[in-house]
Protein backbone atom coordinates (compact mmCIF):
# COMPACT_ATOMS: atom_id res chain seq x y z
CA UNK A 1 0.00 0.00 0.00
CA UNK A 2 1.22 3.49 -0.78
CA UNK A 3 1.45 6.03 1.99
CA UNK A 4 -1.05 8.88 1.82
CA UNK A 5 1.72 11.42 1.27
CA UNK A 6 2.97 9.39 -1.74
CA UNK A 7 -0.58 9.22 -3.10
CA UNK A 8 -0.83 12.98 -2.80
CA UNK A 9 2.42 13.49 -4.70
CA UNK A 10 1.26 11.11 -7.48
CA UNK A 11 -2.06 12.96 -7.63
CA UNK A 12 -0.29 16.30 -7.99
CA UNK A 13 2.02 14.95 -10.74
CA UNK A 14 -0.86 13.31 -12.63
CA UNK A 15 -3.09 16.38 -12.52
CA UNK A 16 -0.32 18.69 -13.65
CA UNK A 17 0.44 16.30 -16.54
CA UNK A 18 -3.22 16.25 -17.52
CA UNK A 19 -3.44 20.03 -17.32
CA UNK A 20 -0.33 20.22 -19.47
CA UNK A 21 -1.97 18.00 -22.09
CA UNK A 22 -5.16 20.05 -22.04
CA UNK A 23 -3.35 23.32 -22.51
CA UNK A 24 -1.22 21.79 -25.28
CA UNK A 25 -4.22 20.53 -27.18
CA UNK A 26 -5.86 23.92 -26.81
CA UNK A 27 -3.01 25.51 -28.70
CA UNK A 28 -3.55 25.14 -32.36
CA UNK A 29 -0.49 26.93 -33.65
CA UNK A 30 1.69 24.62 -35.71
CA UNK A 31 4.86 25.94 -34.07
CA UNK A 32 3.88 24.17 -30.88
CA UNK A 33 4.24 20.85 -32.67
CA UNK A 34 7.53 21.59 -34.40
CA UNK A 35 9.76 20.19 -31.66
CA UNK A 36 7.69 17.01 -31.45
CA UNK A 37 7.93 16.67 -35.24
CA UNK A 38 11.71 17.10 -35.11
CA UNK A 39 12.03 14.40 -32.44
CA UNK A 40 10.02 11.99 -34.59
CA UNK A 41 12.18 12.77 -37.65
CA UNK A 42 15.28 12.05 -35.58
CA UNK A 43 13.95 8.57 -34.76
CA UNK A 44 13.16 7.47 -38.33
CA UNK A 45 14.85 8.39 -41.62
CA UNK A 46 12.82 11.08 -43.38
CA UNK A 47 12.83 9.57 -46.85
CA UNK A 48 12.17 12.01 -49.71
CA UNK A 49 11.15 10.57 -53.08
CA UNK A 50 12.52 13.12 -55.52
CA UNK A 51 15.20 15.81 -55.57
CA UNK A 52 16.80 17.31 -58.70
CA UNK A 53 20.14 18.56 -57.33
CA UNK A 54 22.06 16.58 -60.02
CA UNK A 55 20.11 18.45 -62.73
CA UNK A 56 20.96 21.79 -61.06
CA UNK A 57 24.65 20.94 -60.97
CA UNK A 58 24.54 19.91 -64.62
CA UNK A 59 22.86 23.12 -65.80
CA UNK A 60 24.50 25.61 -63.52
CA UNK A 61 28.16 24.54 -63.42
CA UNK A 62 28.64 21.48 -65.65
CA UNK A 63 28.87 19.29 -62.52
CA UNK A 64 31.87 21.21 -61.12
CA UNK A 65 31.92 21.11 -57.32
CA UNK A 66 34.86 23.54 -57.57
CA UNK A 67 32.38 26.15 -58.85
CA UNK A 68 29.43 25.32 -56.62
CA UNK A 69 29.99 24.14 -53.08
CA UNK A 70 27.15 22.01 -51.77
CA UNK A 71 27.69 23.48 -48.30
CA UNK A 72 25.99 26.70 -49.38
CA UNK A 73 23.71 27.24 -52.36
CA UNK A 74 21.84 30.21 -50.88
CA UNK A 75 24.18 32.94 -52.16
CA UNK A 76 23.52 32.27 -55.86
CA UNK A 77 21.56 34.65 -58.11
CA UNK A 78 18.89 31.99 -58.23
CA UNK A 79 19.36 30.23 -54.89
CA UNK A 80 18.86 26.47 -54.86
CA UNK A 81 16.37 24.77 -52.54
CA UNK A 82 18.90 22.22 -51.32
CA UNK A 83 22.29 22.24 -49.63
CA UNK A 84 23.91 20.25 -46.85
CA UNK A 85 23.10 22.54 -43.87
CA UNK A 86 19.47 22.86 -44.93
CA UNK A 87 19.11 19.10 -45.52
CA UNK A 88 20.35 18.68 -41.94
CA UNK A 89 17.98 21.35 -40.62
CA UNK A 90 15.10 19.63 -42.44
CA UNK A 91 16.11 16.30 -40.82
CA UNK A 92 16.36 14.52 -44.18
CA UNK A 93 17.57 10.98 -43.52
CA UNK A 94 17.30 9.38 -46.95
CA UNK A 95 17.04 10.99 -50.35
CA UNK A 96 16.15 9.61 -53.74
CA UNK A 97 18.40 11.76 -55.97
CA UNK A 98 16.79 12.05 -59.39
CA UNK A 99 19.10 11.44 -62.36
CA UNK A 100 16.62 13.14 -64.68
CA UNK A 101 17.48 14.14 -68.25
CA UNK A 102 15.14 15.71 -70.81
CA UNK A 103 12.83 13.32 -72.66
CA UNK A 104 13.06 15.54 -75.74
CA UNK A 105 16.63 14.58 -76.65
CA UNK A 106 17.40 11.41 -78.65
CA UNK A 107 17.34 8.26 -76.54
CA UNK A 108 21.01 7.31 -77.15
CA UNK A 109 21.92 10.84 -75.98
CA UNK A 110 19.59 10.34 -72.98
CA UNK A 111 21.53 7.20 -72.01
CA UNK A 112 24.80 9.17 -72.07
CA UNK A 113 23.40 12.10 -70.10
CA UNK A 114 21.79 9.80 -67.53
CA UNK A 115 25.17 8.11 -67.03
CA UNK A 116 26.63 11.55 -66.36
CA UNK A 117 23.88 12.20 -63.80
CA UNK A 118 24.55 8.83 -62.11
CA UNK A 119 28.26 9.66 -62.08
CA UNK A 120 27.42 12.95 -60.35
CA UNK A 121 25.61 11.19 -57.48
CA UNK A 122 28.56 8.81 -57.03
CA UNK A 123 30.96 11.76 -56.98
CA UNK A 124 28.74 13.74 -54.59
CA UNK A 125 28.74 10.99 -51.96
CA UNK A 126 32.53 10.65 -52.35
CA UNK A 127 33.03 14.41 -52.08
CA UNK A 128 30.97 14.76 -48.87
CA UNK A 129 31.54 11.45 -47.03
CA UNK A 130 30.57 12.90 -43.64
CA UNK A 131 27.10 13.65 -44.92
CA UNK A 132 26.21 11.15 -47.66
CA UNK A 133 26.60 7.48 -48.47
CA UNK A 134 25.19 5.55 -51.42
CA UNK A 135 22.33 3.25 -50.37
CA UNK A 136 21.23 0.26 -52.44
CA UNK A 137 18.89 -1.49 -49.98
CA UNK A 138 16.52 -0.71 -47.11
CA UNK A 139 19.14 -2.14 -44.72
CA UNK A 140 21.70 0.30 -46.16
CA UNK A 141 19.28 3.18 -45.53
CA UNK A 142 18.81 2.23 -41.89
CA UNK A 143 22.52 1.68 -41.28
CA UNK A 144 23.58 4.96 -42.93
CA UNK A 145 20.87 6.88 -41.04
CA UNK A 146 22.02 5.33 -37.76
CA UNK A 147 25.55 6.55 -38.56
CA UNK A 148 24.23 10.10 -38.81
CA UNK A 149 24.51 10.43 -42.58
CA UNK A 150 21.95 10.92 -45.34
CA UNK A 151 21.31 7.69 -47.24
CA UNK A 152 21.59 8.57 -50.93
CA UNK A 153 19.65 6.59 -53.50
CA UNK A 154 19.52 6.91 -57.27
CA UNK A 155 16.18 7.26 -59.06
CA UNK A 156 15.92 7.42 -62.87
CA UNK A 157 13.21 9.68 -64.22
CA UNK A 158 11.85 8.27 -67.45
CA UNK A 159 12.18 5.12 -69.54
CA UNK A 160 13.68 7.21 -72.37
CA UNK A 161 16.93 6.75 -70.42
CA UNK A 162 17.11 3.05 -71.40
CA UNK A 163 16.74 3.54 -75.17
CA UNK A 164 14.38 0.54 -75.51
CA UNK A 165 17.00 -1.85 -74.12
CA UNK A 166 16.65 -4.12 -71.08
CA UNK A 167 20.44 -4.52 -71.15
CA UNK A 168 20.78 -0.77 -70.52
CA UNK A 169 18.17 -1.05 -67.74
CA UNK A 170 20.18 -3.84 -66.11
CA UNK A 171 23.41 -1.85 -66.33
CA UNK A 172 21.79 1.19 -64.68
CA UNK A 173 20.68 -1.12 -61.88
CA UNK A 174 24.27 -2.33 -61.67
CA UNK A 175 25.38 1.30 -61.22
CA UNK A 176 23.01 1.73 -58.29
CA UNK A 177 19.71 2.95 -59.75
CA UNK A 178 16.89 1.63 -57.57
CA UNK A 179 13.82 3.20 -59.13
CA UNK A 180 12.83 4.14 -62.63
CA UNK A 181 9.90 6.39 -63.41
CA UNK A 182 8.29 4.65 -66.37
CA UNK A 183 8.07 7.84 -68.47
CA UNK A 184 8.77 11.53 -68.12
CA UNK A 185 6.65 13.94 -70.18
CA UNK A 186 6.85 12.10 -73.51
CA UNK A 187 5.01 8.94 -74.59
CA UNK A 188 7.59 6.23 -75.37
CA UNK A 189 7.56 3.33 -77.84
CA UNK A 190 6.22 1.21 -74.97
CA UNK A 191 4.42 3.42 -72.41
CA UNK A 192 1.99 6.36 -72.40
CA UNK A 193 2.96 9.53 -70.52
CA UNK A 194 0.62 11.94 -68.72
CA UNK A 195 0.20 15.13 -70.71
CA UNK A 196 1.27 13.58 -74.04
CA UNK A 197 -0.83 11.81 -76.70
CA UNK A 198 -1.46 8.19 -75.67
CA UNK A 199 -0.42 5.53 -78.19
CA UNK A 200 -0.67 2.22 -76.36
CA UNK A 201 -3.63 2.54 -73.99
CA UNK A 202 -1.06 2.20 -71.19
CA UNK A 203 1.82 -0.23 -71.61
CA UNK A 204 2.38 -2.38 -74.71
CA UNK A 205 3.93 -5.87 -74.54
CA UNK A 206 7.49 -4.57 -74.30
CA UNK A 207 6.36 -2.15 -71.59
CA UNK A 208 5.03 -5.08 -69.58
CA UNK A 209 8.36 -6.87 -70.07
CA UNK A 210 10.15 -3.78 -68.69
CA UNK A 211 8.01 -3.99 -65.53
CA UNK A 212 8.75 -7.73 -65.14
CA UNK A 213 12.49 -7.18 -65.58
CA UNK A 214 12.46 -4.34 -63.05
CA UNK A 215 10.68 -6.69 -60.60
CA UNK A 216 13.38 -9.32 -61.18
CA UNK A 217 16.19 -6.81 -60.73
CA UNK A 218 14.72 -5.26 -57.59
CA UNK A 219 14.16 -1.82 -59.07
CA UNK A 220 11.10 0.11 -57.93
CA UNK A 221 8.46 0.80 -60.59
CA UNK A 222 7.71 4.53 -60.27
CA UNK A 223 4.36 5.61 -61.72
CA UNK A 224 4.62 9.38 -61.38
CA UNK A 225 4.38 10.99 -64.87
CA UNK A 226 2.34 8.19 -66.54
CA UNK A 227 -1.32 8.05 -67.60
CA UNK A 228 -3.95 6.27 -65.47
CA UNK A 229 -4.00 3.48 -68.11
CA UNK A 230 -0.24 2.99 -67.71
CA UNK A 231 -0.62 3.06 -63.90
CA UNK A 232 -3.29 0.34 -64.08
CA UNK A 233 -1.34 -1.82 -66.54
CA UNK A 234 1.78 -1.62 -64.36
CA UNK A 235 -0.20 -2.43 -61.20
CA UNK A 236 -1.77 -5.44 -62.98
CA UNK A 237 1.58 -6.76 -64.23
CA UNK A 238 3.87 -6.02 -61.28
CA UNK A 239 4.77 -8.70 -58.76
CA UNK A 240 6.38 -6.19 -56.40
CA UNK A 241 5.20 -2.99 -54.67
CA UNK A 242 5.07 0.15 -56.85
CA UNK A 243 5.59 3.81 -55.99
CA UNK A 244 4.76 7.33 -57.07
CA UNK A 245 7.94 9.29 -56.32
CA UNK A 246 6.29 12.73 -56.64
CA UNK A 247 2.52 12.93 -57.23
CA UNK A 248 -0.58 14.18 -55.42
CA UNK A 249 -4.26 13.24 -55.31
CA UNK A 250 -6.30 14.05 -58.38
CA UNK A 251 -9.51 14.41 -56.36
CA UNK A 252 -7.94 17.39 -54.58
CA UNK A 253 -6.23 18.97 -57.60
CA UNK A 254 -7.28 17.58 -60.96
CA UNK A 255 -3.85 17.71 -62.56
CA UNK A 256 -2.95 14.85 -64.97
CA UNK A 257 0.27 14.27 -62.95
CA UNK A 258 -1.79 13.32 -59.89
CA UNK A 259 -3.23 9.93 -58.89
CA UNK A 260 -6.97 9.32 -59.45
CA UNK A 261 -9.03 7.73 -56.66
CA UNK A 262 -9.66 4.52 -58.65
CA UNK A 263 -5.88 4.02 -58.87
CA UNK A 264 -5.40 4.86 -55.18
CA UNK A 265 -7.88 2.08 -54.43
CA UNK A 266 -5.60 -0.44 -56.21
CA UNK A 267 -2.51 0.43 -54.17
CA UNK A 268 -3.07 -1.53 -50.93
CA UNK A 269 -3.20 -4.78 -52.89
CA UNK A 270 0.30 -4.24 -54.35
CA UNK A 271 1.56 -2.33 -51.28
CA UNK A 272 2.01 0.82 -53.38
CA UNK A 273 3.16 4.20 -52.08
CA UNK A 274 2.26 7.77 -53.06
CA UNK A 275 5.00 10.23 -52.14
CA UNK A 276 3.13 13.51 -51.88
CA UNK A 277 4.82 16.35 -53.75
CA UNK A 278 5.12 20.11 -53.33
CA UNK A 279 4.80 21.07 -57.02
CA UNK A 280 2.50 24.10 -56.86
CA UNK A 281 0.16 23.33 -59.75
CA UNK A 282 -0.27 19.71 -58.55
CA UNK A 283 -1.05 21.02 -55.07
CA UNK A 284 -3.55 23.85 -55.63
CA UNK A 285 -6.61 23.37 -57.84
CA UNK A 286 -7.10 27.14 -57.82
CA UNK A 287 -3.59 27.65 -59.21
CA UNK A 288 -4.05 24.90 -61.80
CA UNK A 289 -7.16 26.70 -63.06
CA UNK A 290 -5.34 30.04 -63.04
CA UNK A 291 -2.58 28.60 -65.27
CA UNK A 292 -5.17 27.12 -67.65
CA UNK A 293 -6.95 30.48 -67.89
CA UNK A 294 -3.73 32.39 -68.43
CA UNK A 295 -2.68 30.00 -71.21
CA UNK A 296 -6.08 30.47 -72.87
CA UNK A 297 -5.84 34.26 -72.63
CA UNK A 298 -2.30 34.20 -74.01
CA UNK A 299 -3.36 32.09 -77.02
CA UNK A 300 -6.19 34.53 -77.71
CA UNK A 301 -4.03 37.64 -77.29
CA UNK A 302 -1.29 36.19 -79.51
CA UNK A 303 -3.85 35.49 -82.19
CA UNK A 304 -5.52 38.91 -81.89
CA UNK A 305 -2.23 40.83 -81.96
CA UNK A 306 -0.06 38.60 -84.16
CA UNK A 307 3.21 40.33 -85.06
CA UNK A 308 2.82 42.98 -82.31
CA UNK A 309 4.94 41.69 -79.39
CA UNK A 310 4.64 44.96 -77.42
CA UNK A 311 0.86 44.84 -77.61
CA UNK A 312 0.83 41.17 -76.58
CA UNK A 313 3.02 41.97 -73.58
CA UNK A 314 0.82 44.91 -72.59
CA UNK A 315 -2.42 42.93 -72.85
CA UNK A 316 -0.97 40.03 -70.87
CA UNK A 317 0.26 42.42 -68.20
CA UNK A 318 -3.24 43.92 -67.97
CA UNK A 319 -4.69 40.44 -67.44
CA UNK A 320 -2.05 39.59 -64.83
CA UNK A 321 -2.76 42.82 -62.95
CA UNK A 322 -6.45 41.97 -62.80
CA UNK A 323 -5.95 38.27 -62.00
CA UNK A 324 -3.42 37.84 -59.26
CA UNK A 325 -1.69 34.46 -59.31
CA UNK A 326 -2.93 32.33 -56.39
CA UNK A 327 -0.24 30.86 -54.13
CA UNK A 328 -0.27 27.26 -52.97
CA UNK A 329 0.35 26.48 -49.30
CA UNK A 330 1.77 23.88 -46.93
CA UNK A 331 -1.80 23.34 -45.67
CA UNK A 332 -2.89 22.36 -49.19
CA UNK A 333 -0.09 19.77 -49.34
CA UNK A 334 -1.44 18.38 -46.05
CA UNK A 335 -4.92 18.28 -47.63
CA UNK A 336 -3.57 15.81 -50.22
CA UNK A 337 -2.16 13.67 -47.42
CA UNK A 338 -5.55 13.81 -45.65
CA UNK A 339 -7.32 12.71 -48.81
CA UNK A 340 -5.04 9.73 -49.46
CA UNK A 341 -5.33 8.70 -45.80
CA UNK A 342 -9.14 8.92 -46.01
CA UNK A 343 -9.10 6.78 -49.18
CA UNK A 344 -6.61 4.03 -48.27
CA UNK A 345 -4.95 4.81 -44.93
CA UNK A 346 -1.56 6.13 -43.77
CA UNK A 347 0.36 3.01 -44.82
CA UNK A 348 0.56 4.15 -48.44
CA UNK A 349 1.80 7.74 -48.02
CA UNK A 350 5.30 9.21 -48.28
CA UNK A 351 6.86 12.57 -49.18
CA UNK A 352 8.49 13.48 -52.52
CA UNK A 353 9.14 17.23 -52.51
CA UNK A 354 10.66 17.67 -56.01
CA UNK A 355 13.01 20.32 -54.60
CA UNK A 356 15.29 21.86 -57.24
CA UNK A 357 13.13 20.31 -59.95
CA UNK A 358 10.69 23.23 -59.83
CA UNK A 359 11.11 26.98 -59.62
CA UNK A 360 8.49 27.90 -56.99
CA UNK A 361 7.15 26.16 -53.92
CA UNK A 362 4.13 26.39 -51.63
CA UNK A 363 4.15 28.97 -48.84
CA UNK A 364 5.78 27.34 -45.83
CA UNK A 365 7.75 24.74 -47.83
CA UNK A 366 10.29 27.01 -49.49
CA UNK A 367 13.34 24.77 -49.16
CA UNK A 368 14.53 21.44 -47.73
CA UNK A 369 14.78 22.88 -44.22
CA UNK A 370 10.98 23.07 -43.95
CA UNK A 371 9.95 19.38 -43.77
CA UNK A 372 9.44 19.53 -39.97
CA UNK A 373 6.77 22.20 -40.50
CA UNK A 374 4.74 19.86 -42.68
CA UNK A 375 4.99 17.12 -40.05
CA UNK A 376 4.03 19.65 -37.36
CA UNK A 377 0.93 20.49 -39.41
CA UNK A 378 0.03 16.77 -39.54
CA UNK A 379 0.41 16.55 -35.74
CA UNK A 380 -1.84 19.60 -35.41
CA UNK A 381 -4.41 17.78 -37.56
CA UNK A 382 -4.39 14.83 -35.19
CA UNK A 383 -2.04 12.39 -36.88
CA UNK A 384 -0.31 10.14 -34.34
CA UNK A 385 3.44 9.80 -33.88
CA UNK A 386 3.15 6.32 -35.38
CA UNK A 387 1.38 7.78 -38.45
CA UNK A 388 4.19 10.29 -38.87
CA UNK A 389 6.92 7.69 -38.63
CA UNK A 390 5.18 5.72 -41.37
CA UNK A 391 4.76 8.74 -43.64
CA UNK A 392 8.31 9.96 -43.00
CA UNK A 393 10.12 6.74 -43.81
CA UNK A 394 8.73 3.46 -42.53
CA UNK A 395 6.36 3.08 -45.49
CA UNK A 396 9.16 3.56 -48.05
CA UNK A 397 11.39 1.12 -46.16
CA UNK A 398 8.61 -1.49 -46.13
CA UNK A 399 8.02 -0.99 -49.87
CA UNK A 400 11.76 -1.34 -50.58
CA UNK A 401 11.90 -4.56 -48.55
CA UNK A 402 8.94 -5.91 -50.51
CA UNK A 403 10.70 -5.09 -53.78
CA UNK A 404 13.92 -6.72 -52.54
CA UNK A 405 12.15 -9.90 -51.40
CA UNK A 406 10.31 -10.18 -54.73
CA UNK A 407 13.59 -9.77 -56.64
CA UNK A 408 15.25 -12.50 -54.59
CA UNK A 409 12.37 -14.89 -55.35
CA UNK A 410 12.23 -14.01 -59.05
CA UNK A 411 15.99 -14.36 -59.53
CA UNK A 412 15.63 -17.95 -58.36
CA UNK A 413 12.71 -18.52 -60.70
CA UNK A 414 13.87 -17.00 -63.98
CA UNK A 415 16.79 -15.88 -66.10
CA UNK A 416 17.33 -12.27 -67.21
CA UNK A 417 14.90 -11.30 -69.96
CA UNK A 418 16.11 -11.91 -73.51
CA UNK A 419 13.29 -9.89 -75.02
CA UNK A 420 14.04 -7.05 -77.45
CA UNK A 421 11.57 -4.33 -78.34
CA UNK A 422 11.81 -5.52 -81.96
CA UNK A 423 10.31 -8.88 -80.87
CA UNK A 424 6.96 -7.09 -80.73
CA UNK A 425 7.21 -4.98 -83.86
Please tell me the distance from the alpha carbon of residue 237 to that of residue 212, in angstroms, as a whole number: 7
Q: Is 184 a catalytic residue?
A: yes
Please tell me the distance from the alpha carbon of residue 178 to that of residue 155, in angstroms, as a whole number: 6
> Which listed residue (246, 255, 336, 339) is catalytic?
246
158: left (phi over 0), alpha (psi -120 to 50) or beta: left
Please tell me the distance from the alpha carbon of residue 103 to that of residue 191, in angstroms, as a whole number: 13
> Which listed residue (133, 209, 354, 356) is catalytic?
354
Answer for the pair 144, 133: CB distance below 8 angstroms, yes or no: yes
> Which listed residue (160, 173, 200, 225) is catalytic?
225
Task: Please tell me what DSSP assigns to residue 346.
Answer: G
Q: Is 356 a catalytic residue?
A: no
Please tell me the distance from the alpha carbon of residue 133 to that of residue 126, in angstroms, as a whole number: 8
Answer for the pair 201, 228: CB distance below 8 angstroms, yes or no: no
> Which listed residue (83, 107, 157, 356) is catalytic?
157
Cβ neighbours, 10 Å, residue 16: 10
Q: Is 1 exposed, middle or buried (0-12, 13-18, 19+ CB in 10 A)?
A: exposed
Q: Which residue in 288, 397, 301, 385 sits closest to 336, CA to CA?
A: 288
Q: Work out whether the CA dihedral 133, 80, 365, 71 comes out positive or negative.
A: positive
SS3 helix, strand, coil % of the chain, rounded to 5?
55, 10, 35
> Which listed residue (81, 184, 255, 339) is catalytic?
184
> Which listed residue (48, 52, 192, 338) is catalytic?
52
Answer for the pair 111, 102: CB distance below 8 angstroms, yes or no: no
Q: Is 29 a catalytic residue?
A: no
Q: Is 160 a catalytic residue?
A: no
Q: Which residue in 267, 280, 376, 289 sits closest to 336, CA to CA?
A: 280
Please count the helices (runs of H) and the strands (runs of E) in the chain: 18, 9
Q: Is 225 a catalytic residue?
A: yes
Secondary structure (DSSP) of 216-283: HHT-EEE-TTB-HHHHHHHHHH-SS-EEESS--BTTTS--TTSBPHHHHTTHHHHT-EEEE---HHHH
Q: Which residues contact 146 (CB under 8 A, 6 or more apart)?
A: none
Please tell me the distance from the alpha carbon of residue 342 to that of residue 414, in angstroms, as a whole number: 39
Cβ neighbours, 10 Å, residue 122: 14
The full 3-state SS of 86-126, as one line of letters, equals HHHHCCEEEEEEECCCCCCCCHHHHHHHHHHHHHHHHHHHH
Q: Is 246 a catalytic residue?
A: yes
Residues labelled catalytic: 50, 52, 157, 184, 225, 246, 354
Amino acid sequence: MLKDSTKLIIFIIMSSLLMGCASLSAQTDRDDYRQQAIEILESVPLFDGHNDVPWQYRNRVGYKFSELDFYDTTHLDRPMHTDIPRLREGRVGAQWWSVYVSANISEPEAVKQTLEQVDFVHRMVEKYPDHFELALTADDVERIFAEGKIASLIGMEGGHSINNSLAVLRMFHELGARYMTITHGRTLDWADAAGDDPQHDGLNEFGEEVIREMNRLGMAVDLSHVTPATMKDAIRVTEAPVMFSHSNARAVSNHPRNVPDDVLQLLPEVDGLVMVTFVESFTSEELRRWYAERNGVRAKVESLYAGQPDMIREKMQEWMDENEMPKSTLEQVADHIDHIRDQIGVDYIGIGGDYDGISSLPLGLEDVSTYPDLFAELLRRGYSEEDLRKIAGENMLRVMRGIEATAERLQNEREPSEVLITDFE
